[in-house]
Amino acid sequence: MSIAYSEFISSERLIALFSSLVSIDSKSFGEHEMCDFLRHELIRLGFSTTVDDADFKLSGSSGNLYGFLPGTIPGEPLLFCTHMDTVEPSSGKQAILMENGIIRSNGNTVLGADDCAGIAAILEALRTLEENHLPHRSIEVLFTVAEEQYCRGIAQFDYSRLRSKDAYILDLSGPIGTAAEKAPTILSFTVTVTGKAAHAGFAPQDGIHAILAAANAISVLPMGKIDKDTTLNIGIIQGGTATNIVPDRCTVIGEIRSYSHETALDASRLIQTQFLHSAQALGAAIEFQQEVRCQAYAVNPESPTVQRFEQACRSCGLTPALEPTFGGSDNNFLQQNGVNGLVIACAMHQCHSCEEYTTVQELCQIAEITLSLMQSEQ
């Protein structure tokens, strides 16, 4: 039975909770205080909890926080996932509520709605279940570390702990009711070109110019959109030691994104081949390294995960919409490990900037959707 949940969600409590979460410094690899806050709250709400050893593996201050709450209605458990870390600058964040209902930082830091808005929505929904003794499915929660660092936290998680087949990841910009239908492979690469040093004034002919070899390769590579589903960017170039020395070393760092995993791998091979040819033409050598940060996926719009989300949106008076995203998230890893996840918009805008903001209305809406999902019998 569909119920409108606006009568249950407390906007005042939700905004107070969001403000408290924002005030906790929780940069990547420094999530200890946030984890302690959330674990205490989960235990109070009846969850069994564990924190894994991702802190040890990543030299951070906290592991991933997992919790399980038995349900009171039939149905497989559902997983709700957000990340605990925020991008910089984040030290001393404050949530400032404007008269028009917009919440911003003081302008010197990010707000941290990415992903405090998602965390707040989950906790408010759980508090509402407890306070009103509402029926709900078995619930799993996973609060991850170092998501902003190419999802390095969830990559360390033991997925055999999960009981859920379906997951909702609250970590997307856009109107409430939007969800990501697909996300890309993100592949980073580093090319090190090695030439030969020589005095640039007296004997430049004796040198092999590593920067020139790198520049020749870059000049023929397609920057930006390679095709409609794939992008290439070289963002860092480092080389040389002095203006009077032919540089014997140049390091080039870039990134490929594609909705096709195979296309991303093909683009990487193309880049390696071009750098090799350009280096060999000048007598230089290269070392090429790549790392797949996360792997592309596409969700089935007919899956129970999507259908349940769309029903929850409609029960809250919202029109659901599936749209592609070109960003990675913890869901890339959940999908790769057999969990059918859906990344949903959760009241965050202009993320990764000091202009980041959220709104009271949207925070309440995503809390309502989360509550509806927790109670879904679908």
Number of domains the chain contains: 2
The tens digit of pLDDT for each residue in 210-231 reads 999 999 999 999 999 999 999 9
If asked whether residues 140 and 224 sit together in one domain, one would say no
If asked whether residues 301 and 289 sit together in one domain, one would say no
Beta-strand pair 249-258/230-239: antiparallel
If asked whether residues 71 and 170 sit together in one domain, one would say yes
If asked whether residues 150 and 212 sit together in one domain, one would say no
Mean pLDDT of 72-97: 96
- CA triplet 149, 164, 307: central angle to 5 degrees? 95
| Burial letters 133-165, b for 16+ CB under 10 A, else e | ebebbbbbbbbbbbbbbbbbbbbbbeeeebebe
The tens digit of pLDDT for each residue in 90-120 reads 999 999 999 999 999 999 999 999 999 999 9
Q: What pLDDT, on the 0 to 100 scale, is given for residue 6?
A: 58
Which of these three, 257, 279, 294, is where a domain ends?
294
Distance CA 18, CA 150 (A): 25
Phi, psi torsion values for 120, nearest 5 degrees: -60, -40
Q: What pLDDT, on the 0 to 100 scale, is given for residue 378?
A: 80
Which of these three, 248, 271, 294, is where a domain ends?
294
278 band by pLDDT with thresholds 50, 70 and 90: very high
Q: Which residue has the tokens 């957000």?
A: 82
Tokens of 168: 């909702």
**pLDDT exceeds cutoff 70 at 371:** yes
If asked whether residues 113 and 22 sit together in one domain, one would say yes
Tokens of 111: 């707000």
Contact partners, residue 332, CB within 8 Å, separation at least 6: 151, 183, 294, 295, 296, 297
- Does the predicted model carry a pTM greater than 0.85? yes
Mean pLDDT of 142-160: 96
Which of these three, 279, 294, 309, is where a domain ends?
294
Q: Which residue has the tokens 């924002």?
A: 22
Domain hosting 73: range is 5-183+296-375
Q: Report how far Cα 233 is from the mean position of its chain's Cα atoms.
A: 19
